[in-house]
Amino acid sequence: ELKVEQNPLFLSMQEGKNYTIYCNYSTTSDRLYWYRQDPGKSLESLFVLLSNGAVKQEGRLMASLDTKARLSTLHITAAVHDLSATYFCAVDNYQLIWGAGTKLIIKP
Amino acid sequence: KAGVTQTPRYLIKTRGQQVTLSCSPISGHRSVSWYQQTPGQGLQFLFEYFSETQRNKGNFPGRFSGRQFSNSRSEMNVSTLELGDSALYLCASGEGVRERAGELFFGEGSRLTVL
């Protein structure tokens, strides 16, 4: 059974700090997606990673994919309050297999 | 380009009733997936339709069903509602490339409350 594990599941951090969310998965796949969800809202696509070594950046967020290690990371640089949300990774294995989500709270 | 549209956005039902939710995907997208999201269970896959055929199915009881029409619009139905069916139901639209789920685009969701 394909499993996708995110850690941490909850992260509280101060503005201005850097941190990384990890997404490990248990089978081979070369496609992985990151989504953001604000409280009470739907999911918004952030990054599409389509090959080993893929790196995408948008503002203070950077995502990368290492298919050999079966690991993707979402790095937050100099966090700001507006990035507070729940972040999900999803592995493409014919259907999307989702991580449990990381709830990120950024305090001023 | 219009996004994914779900209706209704909010609804309240009582136990034993049934409910039908509707989803219009992004124009040109042929795949529609449905998810249930609750605080306790997180995001759970219900089913996916592609070109009017159910292509994948999650682990939900038969009370949960769906269909897709020739214009790619999809409906899901929940019969004999239970309290535990209270959730945010999300519809996601995708191109449905063969052998890949592909990037999904989500609607705003239908929030169902069962009393």
- pLDDT tens figures, B71-98: 999 999 999 999 999 999 999 999 877 6
10 Å Cβ neighbour count for B108? Answer: 17
Chain B partners of A94 at a C-beta cutoff of 8 Å? Answer: 56, 99-101
pLDDT at B98: 63
Residue B63 · residue B79 · CB < 8 Å: yes
Six-digit token string for A35: 């989504």
Q: Distance (Å, rounded) from C-alpha B13 to C-alpha A100?
A: 28
**One-letter amino acid of B85:** D
Query: Which of A6, A42, A91 to mutate against chain B (most B CBs within 10 Å)?
Result: A42
Task: Identify whether the C-beta of residue A67 lies closer than 8 Å to the C-beta of residue A57.
Answer: no
d(CA A37, CA B100): 23
Q: Which residues of chain A have pLDDT under 50?
A: none
Residues in chain A with CB shorter than 8 Å from the CB of B108 are: 41-42
pLDDT of residue A93: 82
The yes-or-no verdict on residue B100 having pLDDT over 80 is no
B-chain residues near A41 (CB < 8 A): 108
- What is the 3-state composition of chain B as percent helix, strand, coil, each rounded to the nearest 5? 5, 50, 45
A to B CB pairs, distance under 8 Å: 43
How does pLDDT run across B3-33, given as a tens digit for each residue?
999 999 999 999 999 999 999 999 999 999 9
Taking the CA of residue B114 and the nearest CA in chain A, the distance in Å comes to 18
User: Quick one: closest CA in A to B6, which residue?
Assistant: A42
Which chain B residue lies closest to A88 (C-alpha atoms)?
A: B43
Roughly how many angstroms between the first and final C-alpha of chain A, as a whole number? 41
Q: According to the model, what pLDDT value does residue A29 have?
A: 82
What pLDDT does A96 receive?
Answer: 86
Higher pLDDT, B57 or B102: B57
List chain A residues with CB under 8 Å of B109.
Answer: 42
Q: What is the pLDDT of residue B76?
A: 98
The answer to whether the CB atoms of A41 and B101 lie below 8 A apart is no
Instruction: Decide if A45 and B108 are in contact by the 8 Å CB cutoff.
Output: no
